[in-house]
Structure 1
Amino acid sequence: MPKIFTNKKFLVAAGVVLILLLFLLWGRKSRGPISSHQVYTVTTGDITAKLHLSGTIQPLYSADVASLIDGRIKEALVKDGDRVEKGQLLIRLSEEDLISKLETDRSKYLDAKVKLNEVLNWENSPTYVNSKSQLETARLEYEEKDKTYNQNVQLYKSKAISKHDLDTSRLELERARANLAGAQAQFADVVAKGNQDAVQKARSEFIAMEIAFQMSQAALAHKEILAPYTGIVSVKRQSSTLMGQVEKSLSENRNVTAGEILMTIDDQSHLTVDVQVDEFDIFRVHSDQPVSITIPALPKEKFTGKVVSISEMGSETGNTYNVRCQLDNPSPRLKVGMSAHVEIPLEEKKGVLLVPVSALVKSQGQYGVYLLGGKEPRFQPVQVGITSDTSAEITQGLAAGQKILRYIPVGLAEGG
């Protein structure tokens, strides 16, 4: 009985070869004849390279509205989302509180002024004159008691007065000496209150009170908060009663502090879109460069604009630069925060060889197209210039009039 060859490795290899042969035959047959819509005739034309970027609609001008003074809201005349005109009254602060503070500061200022004048003319002040007078009275009394005591000592020696009278005279002298010492100490303290340190302290207190008084006077001029320009109100203050929620209005009788931001006014007559441009493209973008802008939420409307600013510093998260584009024709339907797509034309060429982007294929690192003219399409290497959404410039490898495949059919091997 003949021996049947049953080497498993050989059978597996033979099966793989058979499958590959069938796949190649199927691929050639599956391509079939090339239809006319698959053929593209290389021609010349114009092409523009563009950047396609995304961003959001933002106001060009946006101002924080803050209270310039401490106060209490008497009337809040606008709420979140309101449209206001330049100079429109937004908030009125309580005038009663401001007047009360003004009177308090006025009183402190006048007291400080009197004190400074008194220190500057200290030797003529009632305090100084009175203290000096008391010192002189104490000195005269002491001199009189001392003279009397000395006389009594002589009288006692001559037995003209008693020991009791002498002791009484000595006590009066000691009391007068104590009074003189007290008057001298008090006068020294009074004199010190008029020295340079005292003058400097009084002057500093006066200046502080004067500034406070002037600020209170000026505060009355800032009791009304006005809109800096026409725009939409966005309340910024955080609610103290609703934790984590931003309040949409400013309630009356709420205290505010100087410098506190209460709202933002967005001027929606001048809108922009900020986009991030890669470092390799940023040198091809310049100010006043025209742009096209589309809004996904408004697909039927087209907008134009221009580049108005280019950041000098790259972003922290990547090698991109912020480019601000301003809309030429903002529509009332546009809203801050809407998504936007921006096209920035980078380079335009006229009368160059063009092929569809769909015709390009890359084989072993080399771009090319499939050239027609033989039995089978053959891979033709090309040099590619600038590209647009649909076309590519060919700088080398093709000539006008040559025919190529517009699309690469399934089964056509790259470079084959």
Structure 2
Amino acid sequence: MKRNNHNLRFLYSALTAGVLLGLLSSCSSSEGNTSDQAAKTPAGVEVFPLKKGMLSSEIQLPGELISFQQVDLYAHETSFVKKIYVDVGSEVKEGQLLISLEAPEITSRLSGAESRWKSQESIYKASKANYDRLLETSKTPGTISPNDLDQAHARMSSDYDQLQAAKASYREVTNSLDYLEIRAPFGGVITSRNVNPGAYVGPSGRGSERPLFTLQEQKHLRLVVSVPEVYTTYLQQNDAISFRVKALPQDSFSAKVKRQARALDTRLRAERVEMDVQNDDKKLLPGMVADVTIPLPSRDSTFVIPKTAIINTAEGIFVIRVTDGKAERVAVQPGRTSDGKTEIFGALQEGDKIVTIGSEEIRNGSTLVTKN
């Protein structure tokens, strides 16, 4: 009798546990279905109508200040330094004498050229006088044969040509003397001096490994910037830019675009752009690195959208267009970005509804509930 009571209690406990497990399983299943159903319920996505606009932005690029003109001055003739009139830092004017040289052999050559010129001049005068005499005598018939007259004329012409050659040689040596005085080809500042009085100098590689002087124009500078390919179409002649230099952080300078290479550097994939900078107070120095701010105003209206609408995936760059409640990915090419907005280019039409916050989870053909 006791054994039967024990079996009944065990059977009752098992039935109770089974009922409890069934209730728990039912509750869990109900909660799971509710969660899945909530996940499948499409939430409303915000969209906006596509419009065209003008997006203006600016870029920061490094630039370099260089002298507007710069020249290394060498001696034209092999010679010796006689006297130096300027030094490093000297400000000179165009045509100002910088250095005088001496070359005794040039003086000797000049004397020889002058002697040849005078000698040839005497020979020409004699042959001309002979021809003139024969020509006057030939006016009496039978006195001078035509052949003798022709020979006299030919000799006179030859002596004249020799005289002109002697004069040219003399002028050449005289010009060589002029090269013994080196003058400034333009106004500027002497930034390098590599010789002293008595030094042996000559053309590059012949007595002068380095130039006598380096002359730079510093009141007028060039600001050189390499503009990346993507921004080259936004720049035009006379566009104003601003820049700063580290040596004068409190000052801001301005310049205008004057020259564009109209070609890309194959190494940098950038266009060389030059601006003219007036530097009358000479606060700026050639070689300074500048932080350049270049404004990029829009020339034409383009589609401008919030940056959040763009989806950048491994397959490409897209925006999501909503057509008849269905999602459609449209490939686009982004342009400039400014203040959270981006230019885009693609197969889009004005008025298209675009999802404001794009997501990779939204696939082509997905049904979307939109809200404005």
1:323 maps to which residue? 273
Whole-Å Cα distance in 2 between the matches of residues 306 and 97 of structure 1? 52
SS in 2 for 1:203: helix
- Does the Cα contact within 8 Å between 1:71 and 1:257 map onto a contact in 2? no
SS in 2 for 1:366: strand
> Between Structure 1 and Structure 2, which shows a larger proportion of helix residues?
1
Q: 1:291 aligns with which of 230, 241, 253?
A: 241
Give yes or no for the alignment of 1:248 onto 2:194: yes
Q: 1:317 to 1:218 in 2, by over 3 A?
A: same
Whole-Å Cα distance in 2 between the matches of residues 118 and 213 of structure 1? 21
Q: Deviations over 1:222-241 (max 9, x none)?
A: 65333233322245xxxxxx
1:211 maps to which residue? 168
2:66 maps to which residue? 58
Fraction of identical pairs, as percent: 20
- Does the Cα contact within 8 Å between 1:52 and 1:344 map onto a contact in 2? yes
Whole-Å Cα distance in 2 between the matches of residues 123 and 200 of structure 1? 10
Q: Deviations over 1:381-402 (max 9, x none)?
A: 9978753465324677669xx8
1:266 maps to which residue? 216
Whole-Å Cα distance in 2 between the matches of residues 324 and 70 of structure 1? 38
- Does the Cα contact within 8 Å between 2:55 and 2:343 map onto a contact in 1? no
Whole-Å Cα distance in 2 between the matches of residues 55 and 358 of structure 1? 33
Q: 1:291 to 1:254 in 2, by over 3 A?
A: same
2:144 maps to which residue? none
- Does the Cα contact within 8 Å between 1:385 and 1:392 map onto a contact in 2? no
Unmatched segments (≥5 aa) in structure 2: 1-52, 134-147, 321-328, 345-351, 363-372
Give yes or no for the alignment of 1:226 onto 2:172: no
Whole-Å Cα distance in 2 between the matches of residues 62 and 397 of structure 1? 59
How many residue pairs match? The answer is: 275
1:332 maps to which residue? 282
- Does the Cα contact within 8 Å between 1:71 and 1:94 map onto a contact in 2? yes
1:117 maps to which residue? 125
Per-residue deviation at 1:81?
Answer: 5.1
Whole-Å Cα distance in 2 between the matches of residues 120 and 394 of structure 1? 87
2:255 maps to which residue? 305
- Larger-Rg structure: 1
- Does the Cα contact within 8 Å between 1:94 and 1:223 map onto a contact in 2? yes
SS in 2 for 1:268: coil
Give yes or no for the alignment of 1:365 onto 2:316: yes
Unmatched segments (≥5 aa) in structure 1: 1-44, 126-190, 236-246, 370-379, 406-412
Q: 1:279 to 1:120 in 2, by over 3 A?
A: farther
Whole-Å Cα distance in 1 between the matches of residues 252 and 218 of structure 2? 18
Per-residue deviation at 1:199?
Answer: 5.0
Per-residue deviation at 1:109?
Answer: 1.0
- Does the Cα contact within 8 Å between 2:260 and 2:273 map onto a contact in 1? yes
- Does the Cα contact within 8 Å between 2:69 and 2:216 map onto a contact in 1? yes
TM-score calculated relative to the size of structure 1:
0.50
Whole-Å Cα distance in 1 between the matches of residues 154 and 263 of structure 2? 53
Q: 1:231 to 1:114 in 2, by over 3 A?
A: same
SS in 2 for 1:114: helix
- Does the Cα contact within 8 Å between 2:60 and 2:292 map onto a contact in 1? yes
Q: 1:384 to 1:303 in 2, by over 3 A?
A: farther
SS in 2 for 1:78: coil
Give yes or no for the alignment of 1:78 onto 2:86: yes
Per-residue deviation at 1:309?
Answer: 0.9
- Computed over aligned residues only, the root mean square deviation of the Cα atoms, in angstroms, reads 4.8
Q: Deviations over 1:241-263 (max 9, x none)?
A: xxxxxx733543534359x9743
Q: 1:113 to 1:213 in 2, by over 3 A?
A: same
Whole-Å Cα distance in 2 between the matches of residues 300 and 294 of structure 1? 8
Per-residue deviation at 1:362?
Answer: 1.7
1:141-290 matches, cutoff 5 A:
201-217=158-174, 223-235=180-192, 248-249=194-195, 251-256=197-202, 262-290=212-240
TM-score calculated relative to the size of structure 2:
0.55
